[in-house]
Amino acid sequence: MTIHSILYVTSLHCHPCFIRKYFQQMRVDIADKIVQVYPYSLGTPFNPPSTVSLPYPVKLVPKEKFDFYTARQSFNLYSLLTNPMVLFAIGGLALFAVNSFVDVKALQEAANQMDEP
């Protein structure tokens, strides 16, 4: 097997449901069957490589654990009442209540007066 001289930047993510960890990015230089491994951070230049070298073969240690969950907020009546859907529901009920207080006979008389010239 022939290995060509090349530069790799590795990024490893572990996604099983119970682990979800993130590992440090590494720069791997392969030149004439010599492998050199360096830590790598986004935004750093490729040349020159880092002065810190990692041992080869590389032992992967998790850098951080992903945390997808946030603490649940406590109940807040003000935020409930200022929710747009709740405001529309209250507005609809208010219009329905106002409509029930209107005198139907007075509306019919007003409509008849508008029709007469």
Q: Are residues 98 and 57 in the same domain?
A: no
pLDDT digits (tens, 9 = 90+) for 48-87: 777 777 777 877 777 666 666 777 888 899 999 999 999 9
In this structure, is residue 88 part of a structural domain?
A: yes
**pLDDT tens, position by position, 60-71:** 777 666 666 777
* Domain ranges, residue 89: 77-115
> What does pTM read for this prediction?
0.43
Residue 71 forms part of a structural domain: no
In this structure, what is the dihedral angle of CA atoms 103, 107, 109, 112, given to the nearest 10 degrees? -160
- Residue 37 near residue 53, CB atoms below 8 Å: yes
